[in-house]
Structure 1
Amino acid sequence: MAADVIVLGAGIIGVSTALQLARRGKSVALVDRREPGMETSYGNAGLIQREGVVPYSFPQQFAQILRYARNNRIDAHFHWSAMPSVSSFLAKYWWHSNVPRHELIARAYAPLIEHSIATHDELIREAGAEDLIAKNGWQEVFRSQAKLDETVREADRLKREYDLSFKVLTPAELAVAEPNLSDDFIGALKWEDPWAVKDPLALTRAYVALFEKLGGRVLTGDAKSLSKTATGWRIIAGEGVVEAKDVVVALGPWSDTVTKPLGYNFLVGVKRGYHMHYAPKGNAKLNGWTMDAERGYFLAPMNQGIRLTTGAEFARRDAPKTPVQLARAEAVAREIFPLGERLDKEPWMGARPCTPDMMPVIGKAPRHDGLWFAFGHAHHGLTLGPVTGQVIAEAMMGEKTRIDISAYRPERFNV
């Protein structure tokens, strides 16, 4: 089989990239070992985070690092056995999180975030997926006035610098918005710009359906079979051998299965995360996407039930599940909202691909013709899928990209 482009990886980044190329008339083969959207893209809080212009940093204060070292929190957990293998990543992550460097990174990262809603909107409309979207933002709820005040100060800064919208809810206003939440909270900050996705897997599948409608092919195959040819690239899929001039590596935390054999050594760590769906008790209802800001977990009213998501687990990518954060979060969540029975047979786990400078790798490979990279989106894969796909497609076609992508170039890792 012949194609113009092979896209490796059918998560939201790969699907969006394949779709953006197909919209521009390219014949595209989208290849993954599993069905589209079934890996990391499946389990997230379902937010298109227009407000997420500042990537999540590593703690800088020694006292805060010591608190995390106790390894008893919901928002972060780690495997002691994994520390030697992830120490280089964590050290550079900490270094890039220094305040002056982090501010520079945020300014370089912001253009991607700023186009997240617009690029999703284009695809949502074309895919007929409007019923999967809620356009009423999300909220952080607070137990202490000091933490709320600190967050409001930072939100004011982001509002001025990045044209964001938010409002502060009093306890009475929060009670009206979420009558089934407990009275543990003294108020909330609601981000008004983001959109929420009621079923991230269904949205990915809607994009896949549009991709196939435009002539794209979804194939089953192992990315490890990728090889160079005289005129481009080939991969062995279940449906046959596919050859193309260009290939895009969008394999998220598994991108190294292709990049390392080709001689590229990116320092990419993983932040694993867990979720579980719950039925509400009785007639209780969660109206909006809600983060318990001082405990570090999220409650999202998904089509499958109320999804509880955890923070980050630092572990080897393929280590067995250790959902201790989920158990801790569930115990707290049951105190503030009437959660009923678990709806999933077991906790879901995914691995977020993270670079130490908190920005994705987007662009052409420096030593191979026709090889392109699109991975490392950390917590914002769902948010950044369509805009990443658009700028990759534009770059591959020799067009001016919607935004300057030089900050995300692979060469910054000296590969």
Structure 2
Amino acid sequence: MKADVAVLGAGIVGVSVALHLQARGRSVVLFDRRGAGEETSYGNAGLIERASVTPYAFPRELSSMIRYSLNRSAEAHYHVSFLPKVAPWLAQYWWHSSPSRLALASKAMLPLIERSVVEHEALMAEAGIEPLLRKTGWIKAFRSERHFAHGVEEARKLDSYGIRFDVLDQGALLAREPHLKDVIIGGIHWLDPATVPDPGAVAKGYAELFVKRGGRFVHGDARTLSQDGGAWTLKGEDGPLEVRETVLALGPWADDVFRPLGYRIPLAVKRGYHMHYRAAGNAVLNHPVLDTDGGFVLAPMSRGIRLTTGAEFADRDAPPTPVQIERTEPAAREIFPLGARVDPEPWMGRRPCLPDMRPVIGPAARHPGLWFAFGHNHHGFTLGPVTGRLLAEMMTGERPFTDPKPYRADRF
């Protein structure tokens, strides 16, 4: 089997890259060990986060660092045995999270964030899955007046970016979310982001469009990638595959391929969990709600109310330890009437992250025909389509819609 390009990884980033290359006339094979959208792209809160102008930084307040170090926080959990391995990466993350460097990261990410919703809209229209898109934003909720006031102060700093939001006192918040309990005293409704009730279904919808347009989906192990002369070869379930170019869009598994090729990109993984619940009685949740004080998100999904956790620092392939679900479920029941669990056990996903809080998008330095698209730092679902567009423009010689230098692989 031969093609112009093999895209390794059928998560939201990979399927988006495949679609954009296909639209520009390339014959493309989508290559994955599983189906589309069945790994990291399945388990997020379903946000297309147009309002996240500032990346998720390492906390620098002493109180936060002490709280996290005690390993009792709902927002972050770590395996003690993993700390020596991840400590150098955490040190880089902390360094890049200084105010000046965080400002640089925000500036670098802004062109991608600004186009996150419109690029999803375009692909959803082509795939015929527009009903999955909800342009109703999400709500940041607060339990204390002090945290509420601080949250409003931070939100005001985004006025220069034109980000729209409503500040809601308790009465206004309950008008939008009548079944939230009065432990929540106010909130900020971010209006520009969009949401979906099933992010995995979005990735599958994009993959189905890719196949409908003549693309091929091949199952196989991406670690079989090798270069023979000017071609790249892979071993698929139905035989060998030969392509001129390869896109590495494997998210948290990208280092399984780039490290044997000699690249030392500091990719780390933040694990996370979710659990679905029935709503008790006639309760309805209209928007995803972040409980700022509780450190979790409740999101209305097709399968039920999805409780998503913060970050867990552990070896990528270590057995699941969903202690954050156990910690946050009682807190979630304090703010919304959750019923019984729907899932037999918590789902675990892996978020691919880089310490400077921006992805790698662009060519590999030492291997012509090898391209990278991974490391989106909590925003893979948000940035999948816009990443696909940018990389396809680079690969086909078009003028990129934004300068790709901030995402180059050789910056490390």
Q: Work out whether the TM-score is over 0.5.
A: yes
Corresponding residue SS for 1:206: helix
**CA–CA distance in structure 2, aligned partners of residues 127 and 34 of structure 1:** 21
**CA–CA distance in structure 1, aligned partners of residues 344 and 159 of structure 2:** 42
**CA–CA distance in structure 2, aligned partners of residues 309 and 29 of structure 1:** 33
Match of 2:118 in 1: 118
1:355 Cα deviation after fit = 0.3
1:27 Cα deviation after fit = 0.7
Match of 2:411 in 1: 412
Match of 1:27 in 2: 27
Q: How does 1:117-266 map to 2 (within 5 A)?
A: 117-160=117-160, 162-266=161-265
Match of 2:316 in 1: 317
Q: How does 1:10-409 map to 2 (within 5 A)?
A: 10-160=10-160, 162-409=161-408
**CA–CA distance in structure 1, aligned partners of residues 157 and 336 of structure 2:** 31
**CA–CA distance in structure 1, aligned partners of residues 124 and 25 of structure 2:** 19
- Per-residue CA deviations over 1:258-279 (Å, capped at 9, x if unaligned) read 1011100111111100000000
1:301 Cα deviation after fit = 0.5
**CA–CA distance in structure 2, aligned partners of residues 292 and 67 of structure 1:** 17
Query: Scaled by the length of structure 2, what TM-score is found?
Result: 0.99
**CA–CA distance in structure 2, aligned partners of residues 303 and 269 of structure 1:** 30
Decide which moves more: 149-158 or 252-261. 149-158
1:108 Cα deviation after fit = 0.9
Corresponding residue SS for 1:168: strand
Corresponding residue SS for 1:26: coil
**CA–CA distance in structure 1, aligned partners of residues 219 and 254 of structure 2:** 17
**CA–CA distance in structure 2, aligned partners of residues 44 and 224 of structure 1:** 26
1:244 Cα deviation after fit = 0.8
Query: Contact between 1:23 and 1:214, CA under 8 Å: does it hold in 2?
Result: no
- Per-residue CA deviations over 1:52-73 (Å, capped at 9, x if unaligned) read 1111000112332111111111
1:284 Cα deviation after fit = 1.0
Match of 1:4 in 2: 4
- Per-residue CA deviations over 1:31-90 (Å, capped at 9, x if unaligned) read 011111111111000000000111100011233211111111111111101001101100
1:222 Cα deviation after fit = 0.3
1:343 Cα deviation after fit = 0.5
Query: Contact between 1:359 and 1:377, CA under 8 Å: does it hold in 2?
Result: yes
1:173 Cα deviation after fit = 1.0
Aligned-residue identity in percent:
54
1:159 Cα deviation after fit = 2.3
**CA–CA distance in structure 1, aligned partners of residues 124 and 149 of structure 2:** 36
- Per-residue CA deviations over 1:118-154 (Å, capped at 9, x if unaligned) read 1111101001111111110000111112211211122
**CA–CA distance in structure 2, aligned partners of residues 13 and 137 of structure 1:** 22
Query: Contact between 1:181 and 1:337, CA under 8 Å: does it hold in 2?
Result: yes
Corresponding residue SS for 1:58: coil
1:378 Cα deviation after fit = 1.6
Decide which moves more: 18-27 or 88-97. 18-27
Corresponding residue SS for 1:245: strand
- Per-residue CA deviations over 1:280-334 (Å, capped at 9, x if unaligned) read 1111111111110111100001011000000000111011101000111101111
- Counting matched residue pairs gives 412
1:337 Cα deviation after fit = 1.0
Corresponding residue SS for 1:182: coil
RMSD: 0.8
In structure 1, stretches of 5+ residues that fail to align are none
**CA–CA distance in structure 2, aligned partners of residues 103 and 136 of structure 1:** 28
Query: Contact between 2:183 and 2:334, CA under 8 Å: does it hold in 1?
Result: no
Corresponding residue SS for 1:184: coil
Decide which moves more: 174-183 or 298-307. 174-183
**CA–CA distance in structure 2, aligned partners of residues 5 and 284 of structure 1:** 48
1:185 Cα deviation after fit = 1.4
**CA–CA distance in structure 1, aligned partners of residues 408 and 234 of structure 2:** 25
In structure 2, stretches of 5+ residues that fail to align are none
> What is the letter of the counterpart of residue 103 of structure 2?
E
Query: Contact between 2:271 and 2:351, CA under 8 Å: does it hold in 1?
Result: yes
**CA–CA distance in structure 2, aligned partners of residues 145 and 232 of structure 1:** 61
**CA–CA distance in structure 1, aligned partners of residues 145 and 51 of structure 2:** 22
**CA–CA distance in structure 2, aligned partners of residues 289 and 159 of structure 1:** 22
